[in-house]
Structure 1
Amino acid sequence: MTPDANSGMNPGARPRTITVALVLVISLVTGGWLLEHGARSGPVRTKAEAARLFDEVFVHIYRHYVDSLAASSMYRMAVEGMLYELEDPYTSLLAPDKLGRLTETTSGNYAGIGVQVDVRDGWMIVISPTPGSPAEHAGIQPGDRIIEVDGRSTHGWTHEEAQRSFRGRPGTSLALRVERPGMATVIPLTLVRRPLHHSSVRRIAMLPNGVGYLDLDAFSDSTEREVTRSVNALRARGARSLMLDLRANPGGLLEQGLRVADLFLGPGQRIVSLRGRTEGANRDYTDSTKQLWPSVPITVLVDDKSASAAEIVAGALQDHDRAVIVGESTYGKGSAQTIIPLGEVGGLKITTSRWFTPSGRSISKEVDRDDDDSSADPRAGQRKQYTTSSGRIVYDGGGITPDVIESDSAWSEGVRTFQGALDRKVGLFRDALADYALALKTKREIASPQFTVTQPMLDEVWKRMVARGIVMDRGIYDESSNVVAPFLSYDIARYVFGPEAEFRRRVANDRAIKTALELMTGASTQKSLLDRALSRQREQRALSNE
């Protein structure tokens, strides 16, 4: 029987009344349960109360939560939640694979064939073989395309997949098939993996006017020995001053940071002070040996990726006026961590102390734990002043502030604009560059490392971009020629002439290196170098105030 529209009754009145009554009853029932089970909520004063609270919450979630959860997963979530609430991005659980990578980074030791590759057009393209490695002995060259590994096509492999395949137990063999620009036939190679050591010193070179250049990319267990050997080699080649490049150096072993700083400081000079809760976490580290090169003026290059042990070295040399710091403010990681092995589950990386430079400053940058922008420091503008050994003013917080700030902001803005126009097809642009560079190598059209990037060469890159489906206004591309041309020149130099030629091209466009060279040229003592830096600092301040 259907309701009569003219009967005067509201057909929804009775159901709505029942619904309201049910909601009231449910509220009373659940409210009573919540009052009963939540009566003990409030401040937890003792360890026993805290443990009881955890157990009760754990049991209720395990029994009543809408989705079933394994007890092991719940314990894992509890641990991760505890670590999250510390609001410390440097304290974390390390899965076995991450712990293994960290161990490899800090030791520098691994077993493999020793080849650096990049992914271009879906294939493994060799950047360079490691000196003395099985790959070098087999004759692998920059620009070679590795198309097969043990009979499997490498097309579509990620960089991580390639690295896993190249590494393995010492003594095991690896069959490769390689295509080389200019050769019609595929090259079959069989390499035997062996123990290798990744050097902390990425490169040494002689720059103009007797400046020795040393690029240090990490602090592993052999860094002090490598730096000593490298500086001695530069001195033997006529270096009268030293440029130590710590840019993009994420740090590593604290002990090695201390030892590297020790090389450049004198007996009794403090390197760093650690402060923590336990007795072992409170230490003052002081130089105990004579300087090996006391008459050599030093400049240190840093940027926003220089962190941890790299900052300890830069801060110690700056505070003792032993080096001029050039570049951008560093990352700002003023704490030290300890790794605690946890068996099969991996390990715990835990912050055990904060460190302070010789002048007493902490360079820690406070960053929101959910904010990936490490450049945002809420304490900016509230930084305290400290003084170096000679009375120069330095600041705490926000990383190590260089004595001479140098960053190519116009270049960086141009790169960002061009990348924005590429959108998600930056990888395809890089593929186009490599493809053209390898084509030039095949045709042997580039005769000298001092080649010039011409407009027809830029046009060829444009054609390859369009062929790969990159949609961009040609006017934007032409306006970005000052960005495209250097990138193209680096790829051509790398694949046609090798990593050394690429390095020379990059040095010519590196503003931090050029500024450091200007300061160092003719500066025979550290004091004269510091005086020049102070003059440049005054000029920069005057320009910023205009």
Structure 2
Amino acid sequence: MNSDGSKNNITQSFKRYYEILNYVENDYVDTVNMDELVDFSIVKMLEKLDPHTAYIPKKDIDIARSQLEGDFEGIGIEFNIIKDTIYVVAPISGGPSEAVGLMAGDKIVKVDDKSVAGAGITNGDVFSKLRGPKGTKVKVTIIRKNAKKPLDFVITRDKIPTYSVDVSYMVDQTTGYIKVSRFSANTYTEFKQALSGLKAKGMKQLIIDLKDNPGGYMDRATRIVDELLDDRKLIVYTDGKDPRYDSRIEAYMNGDFEKGPVIVLINEGSASASEIVSGALQDNDRALIVGRRSFGKGLVQMPIPLSDGSELRLTISRYYTPSGRSIQKPYDKNNSDDYSSDLLKRYQHGEFFHADSIKFNDSLKYKTTKGRYVYGGGGIMPDIFVPRDTTAFTTYLVELFNKNIIREYTLDYYSNNKEELQKMTFEEFKKSFAVTDKMLKEVVDLATRSGVKYKEADFNKSKSMLRNNIKAYIGRSVWGNSGFYPIINETDEIYLSALKQWDKAKEIESGKKKK
């Protein structure tokens, strides 16, 4: 159809829509919120396109954008909502809340003398009350363990850095580990700093953890790949209806870690930019991919600001890995529920537990640069499949997580034992701190008071994981993510499997098989 015909169709369609809205506004029997009606109609219309084209109403735009911002303005706390109460998990280092004396375990009960302790408090409510322009002031009232009465703090908001590289540390004398939680504005800079720090400590081989990383900015992902690839190798290309949205991205700079074995961890929660990284490194035989098949989001969205402050995120092209694989899993435009339940279907089909439950289509067979076979059809299939270990995940443990019992207990434990904990180094804590039977009983008692019925058989199955999580969250209260991940990873089946795969990672990098 020519452009004039297309424009005429749009005009006619808009006229029909405008007429209906007018009739609803003027003649419908009840009063109608027209903004809500229009927002609803836009959302339902876009569902007919693809699963990732989206409309963000003006009221939600700040929260939606903040997921990818490199920083924001506010009071600088990590928080959690437990039993309709805002708990301070930790004040952000160097931020205004730390400066005035807020502490881990504090409960925020009022903001500007208005109660925030009650049913229905949401993350969005917390953002709207505590974030705000740099230089503005907010009064918070907190309840602190062992304090006789509530404490008031007046906090001057400031710019708060947010981090997408959660942690980097040396696993042993030669193995470095970097956890990337999303690809936001500062991710590449954070990754490069982490890489340099690990190299200075003697790193010779690297684990990049992209499990449950939902993606983000493509260019941050490709620049990270460029730190690991040499010789203008292809990283990713896109293909759209309009040639303006076609692109081809290659490695172009001297990277900081172009030699040395690399392992990338992925799972069913790794999507979009995470799949660009893992797909590029797999197709170029630069890294061993360990874990489970990734999510399969290979559609590229362009954010388009609308006149009222809302935003359209329109799919303009598809991602392809260097070998030609489309990252996007199949979808039915007329059945969005089918797409959204894909992970549940994978679980029910047994894919999380058995590699042979995944059937590959030979028509979607591709080759890496050194001749290894990889398959398209949606997502990145790892080189080493690791089944999900559900042995310790009993219904009792799940209830403890759902009720935030472990977080509540560990924040309370930290408050009561702060001085003793802060005298220890993390190395001492990791080596010698033990979660005792007495501590486990205290957790069970707290859970019982919170309405979680004790199940002895479940408790015994989950005991080792429960000890690990309690220790990890106490470590987090003292040392942040640096005190959390080295401990929580001790029960992560994908991480533990990766530590045994360095021979295979070296084979892939060298292109030679062991005899």
TM-score by length of 2: 0.82
Structure 1 Cα separation of the partners of residues 20 and 6 of structure 2: 21
Which has the larger displacement, 285-294 or 515-524?
515-524
* 1:128-527 superposed matches below 5 A: 128-156=90-118, 157-181=121-145, 187-367=151-331, 368-371=335-338, 372-375=340-343, 376=345, 381-383=359-361, 384-411=364-391, 414-415=392-393, 417-418=395-396, 422=399, 426-427=402-403, 429-430=405-406, 433-434=409-410, 437-438=413-414, 441=417, 449=429, 450-495=432-477, 498-520=480-502, 527=509
Residue aligned with 2:277, SS: helix
Shift of 1:171: 0.4
Over 3 Å counting, the alpha-carbon distance change for 1:174 and 1:53 in structure 2 is closer
* 1:86-105 superposed matches below 5 A: 86=49, 88-105=50-67
The residue identity in structure 2 corresponding to 1:320 is: N
Residue aligned with 2:501, SS: helix
The residue identity in structure 2 corresponding to 1:374 is: D
Q: Which runs of 5+ in 1 are unaligned?
A: 1-44, 536-546
Contact 2:396 2:454 in 1 (8 A): no
Q: Give per-residue Cα distances to partners, 1:218-240, cap 9 Å, x unaligned.
A: 22223222222221111112212
Residue aligned with 1:290, SS: coil
Shift of 1:427: 1.2
Alignment-derived partner of residue 118 in structure 1: 80
Over 3 Å counting, the alpha-carbon distance change for 1:123 and 1:288 in structure 2 is same
Over 3 Å counting, the alpha-carbon distance change for 1:458 and 1:290 in structure 2 is same
Over 3 Å counting, the alpha-carbon distance change for 1:527 and 1:173 in structure 2 is same
Q: Which runs of 5+ in 2 are unaligned?
A: 350-356
Over 3 Å counting, the alpha-carbon distance change for 1:155 and 1:59 in structure 2 is closer
Alignment-derived partner of residue 354 in structure 2: none
Residue aligned with 1:189, SS: strand
Contact 1:436 1:460 in 2 (8 A): no
Residue aligned with 1:125, SS: strand
RMSD: 3.5
Shift of 1:77: 5.2
Shift of 1:431: 6.3
Over 3 Å counting, the alpha-carbon distance change for 1:494 and 1:56 in structure 2 is closer
Structure 1 Cα separation of the partners of residues 451 and 254 of structure 2: 61
Residue aligned with 1:213, SS: strand
Contact 1:337 1:351 in 2 (8 A): yes
Q: Give per-residue Cα distances to partners, 1:65-104, cap 9 Å, x unaligned.
A: 9756867776555534431222x12112111233323332
Structure 2 Cα separation of the partners of residues 48 and 408 of structure 1: 54
Structure 2 Cα separation of the partners of residues 439 and 459 of structure 1: 18
Shift of 1:429: 3.6
Structure 2 Cα separation of the partners of residues 458 and 122 of structure 1: 24
Structure 2 Cα separation of the partners of residues 427 and 73 of structure 1: 33
Rg comparison, structure with higher value: 1
Over 3 Å counting, the alpha-carbon distance change for 1:173 and 1:57 in structure 2 is closer
Shift of 1:426: 2.7
Shift of 1:475: 3.9
Contact 1:297 1:529 in 2 (8 A): no
The residue identity in structure 2 corresponding to 1:355 is: Y
Structure 2 Cα separation of the partners of residues 362 and 197 of structure 1: 35
Structure 2 Cα separation of the partners of residues 206 and 251 of structure 1: 25
Which has the larger displacement, 192-201 or 153-162?
153-162
Over 3 Å counting, the alpha-carbon distance change for 1:445 and 1:53 in structure 2 is closer
Structure 2 Cα separation of the partners of residues 320 and 520 of structure 1: 18
* 1:51-62 superposed matches below 5 A: 59=19
Q: Give per-residue Cα distances to partners, 1:321-378, cap 9 Å, x unaligned.
A: 1111112211110111101110215011110001100000012122451133232479
The residue identity in structure 2 corresponding to 1:285 is: I
Contact 2:167 2:481 in 1 (8 A): no
Contact 1:209 1:521 in 2 (8 A): no
Residue aligned with 2:337, SS: coil
